[in-house]
Chain A
Amino acid sequence: MSDVSRSFEESLERILSIEALLASAEHDEPLGPEVQRDLVGLGWAGVWLDETGLELEERLELAAVAGRRLLPAAIRGESLILAPLLDGARLDALLDGSLRGGGGVARGDSALVALAPGAELAGVLGDGWAAVIDVRDAEPVAGLEAGQGLARVRVAADARVPAPPRIAEHIELAVLAELYGAAQHALAISVAYAAEREQFGRPIASFQAVSHTLARMAVDLEALDAGIGRLAARGEPRLAAVLRYAGPAAARRVVEGAIQVHGGMGFTWELGLHLHYRRVLDLQAQLDGSAEEVGAMVLDG
């Protein structure tokens, strides 16, 4: 892991306590002002800006950190979509936190966007177009990922500009990396739990039924890593379609396996695995891939 992502990870571990995340989800309210201030202070909004000068691999490593630590979805939107669409004073304001925002990907002319508290602007990416829109009056939507500030917005045709180059690819890769991070966390805590939790007088990891479940989770995670690495290097449209479909499915199986391995604890509110599960389900829906899309590409090839 690079120094940059290690330092981000340590900061997030400190800022985003499980208690704070659970309270935010419980009341469907954003994380409190102090947490928000600390999050803005990380400078995450600038991660995907060209001038920040990070390599793609470093950015993806950070996206994986976001998945492990459940970085608020609004910051994903700010950094991946909104920041690249802003310049001058508005960009400076976003980076210093005096302007908050969010973002999301459109289906047709409407989009579900995740908004930070007090958000004024959101970046929306459509099919070949992008838009910065005023979200001060956006209509809130109750989301599966409670506390993420979900809202529905419409983008008028005259607000659209051509999408910046590569932004759609970056979003896909970042979402896949975030899925990887969420699944990686779920597997890591499951391995630790299975080695420690005893039933029938021995650690449950010593039962093959459990250790092979963990092994299957590891295989899914390894395949997702390899897929992201190859897509990042080559960017082939078919592989992108494969990963939109199979990537989230793999991450989802890992988190579902984690819930299973934790037994009753896995199903509790307090353990918080449901937060990673909600994140993975939300990202799966965002990528919206399908075996049918892949099949059509094979059959038309």
Chain B
Amino acid sequence: MTFPSPTLAFGPDEEALRARVREWLAGHDPGPPPEDYAARIEAQIGWQRALREAGFMGLSWPERFGGAGLDIASEAVLAEELAASGMPELINRIGVYMIGPTLMDMGDESQQERFLSGMLDASELWCQGFSEPGAGSDLAAVRTAGRVSDDEVVISGQKVWTSRAGIARWCAALVRTERGSERHRGLSMAIVDMRSPGVTVRPLPQMLNEPHFNEVFFDEVRVPLRDVIGGLGAGWKVAMQMLGYERGLFVLERQIRLRGRLDELAAAVRDRADAAVRRRIGAVAAELDLLECVVYRTLAAQRAGTLRPGATSVDKLLLSHAYQELFAAAVELLGPDVARGANGWTHDLLESRAVSIYGGTTEIQHGIVARQLLGLKA
């Protein structure tokens, strides 16, 4: 590893793209997202479709898959500009950033042809069926069964924490297709049509009583064999590939939004910023600035193809801490009326507790760092 690690630098092409995105955004202000859940989803789908029509979706996808054939720096420019727009994150980000690239790596031509284009224009939303009641941090404990018969996989079992399951058309589901297999072996990644008979989605309200995720029940759901990514038995490899895409741009987007919230907080306390307030704001800002440095290092490594296995756990750990510190600081600095009220700050403080749990808990991330970055046999 070289020291110091390079950071992502933008060239004239990326800056020209930034100018184009800005100009487009100025003429297409989506306004604040609607309060009503269904209306908000509709607005988000329309927003991504508009971005697709303007040519801004799939910037780093190869042209033969409907993308612009650029690299990850262009996606970073887009993410930076979109995060400043106030619109929530892309509705189909799981498809665009995770499942799509995995299909390009490990899917076959027919899968690429049938599934990729609907990801970009959000005409087909995707969800990810990984976790189960008995398989949370221990993903290899997946028990949902996929019985292979002739040219089908017949799936029965339960998934949980599935975001967007109620509105998704497709689900990339990790299922055990080899009866009696254990751990990482005998798993397959099946693309389940969420309109199939036997699929039941039950909202699982989170701490804020918002329906972000769901329980998904599969009862003898039939999936054609040709919709298994990478073939039978490749499930664990496909899952790891997919999770490998779950950083970089995701964290960049989050980091920029948190930066915006920090600026709001600073504005709110500016006229009574004594030394203690300055220290608190400074400590949170420093965490966010270092997170930014780490994210741009990750993106530079992704671009150069030098990303070390396990390195993005650093991004996740720093994001979790900075995120939770920011909103903890906010409710303390803004005073009892804000702290006791139902408002954006208290909402986001509660919501921040999720970040150190989803996508691999803080404890799991520390284990990954110890094993993969430090080479410990823990």
Contacts and interface: CB of A to CB of B under 8 A. Distances in A.
Interface string B305-318: 00000010010011
Interface string A221-235: 011011111111110
B269 to A, nearest CB: 8
A239 B374 CA distance: 28
Nearest to B308: A222
Given A1-B2, A211-B366, A292-B278, A246 B376 contact: no
Interface in B282-315: 282-283, 285-287, 289-294, 296-297, 311, 314
Contact of A206 (B270, B282, B377): B377
B5 A229 contact: yes
Nearest to B7: A230
Given A219-B369, A295-B277, A299-B281, A226 B286 contact: no
A194 B290 contact: no
A152 to B, nearest CB: 29
Interface stretch (A39-47, A56-64, A106-114, A156-164): A56-64
Given A191-B374, A291-B283, A299-B270, A180 B293 contact: no
Most interface-central of A226, A228, A234 (chain B CB within 10 A)? A226
Contacts of B30: none
B378 A205 contact: yes
A253 B293 CA distance: 19
B73 to A, nearest CB: 14
A229 B304 CA distance: 15
A70 B283 CA distance: 30
Most interface-central of A208, A222, A232, A297 (chain B CB within 10 A)? A222
Contacts of B266: 298-299, 301
B279 A295 contact: yes
Given A208-B378, A294-B286, A225 B5 contact: yes
Nearest to B368: A215
Most interface-central of A292, A294, A298 (chain B CB within 10 A)? A298
Contact of A214 (B3, B269, B297, B376): B376
B275 interface: yes
Most interface-central of A215, A290, A297 (chain B CB within 10 A)? A215
Interface residues of B, number: 48
Contacts of B289: 227, 238-239, 242, 246, 294
B282 A298 contact: yes
B279 A223 contact: no
Contacts of B297: 225-226, 229-230
Contacts of B273: 295, 299
B207 interface: no
A211 to B, nearest CB: 4
Tier of interface size on chain A = 35 or more
Contact of B7 (A208, A219, A234): A234
B4 interface: yes
Interface string A61-85: 1001000000000000000000000
B248 to A, nearest CB: 13
B370 A242 contact: no
A177 to B, nearest CB: 7
Given A292-B275, A299-B273, A233 B9 contact: yes
A15 B297 CA distance: 34
A195 interface: yes
Contacts of A203: 377
A233 B6 contact: yes
A3 to B, nearest CB: 13
B375 A299 contact: no
Given A229-B5, A234-B7, A298 B281 contact: yes
B288 to A, nearest CB: 9
Contacts of B365: 215
Nearest to B318: A223
B373 interface: yes
Contacts of B370: 205, 211-212, 214-215, 218
A78 B100 CA distance: 55
Interface in B7-36: 7, 9
A297 to B, nearest CB: 8
Interface of A: 1, 57, 60-61, 64, 177, 180, 191, 194-195, 203, 205-206, 208, 211-212, 214-216, 218-219, 222-223, 225-234, 238-239, 242, 245-246, 290-299, 301
11 contacts: A1-B2, A191-B375, A218-B373, A219-B314, A226-B293, A246-B289, A290-B279, A291-B282, A292-B278, A294-B283, A298-B282
Given A194-B376, A206-B378, A226-B7, 5 more contacts: A61-B4, A212-B370, A215-B373, A291-B286, A299-B281
The 3 closest A-B pairs by CB, nearest first: A295-B282, A295-B278, A294-B282
Interface of B: 2-7, 9, 262-263, 266, 269-270, 273, 275, 277-283, 285-287, 289-294, 296-297, 311, 314, 317-318, 363, 365-367, 369-370, 373-378
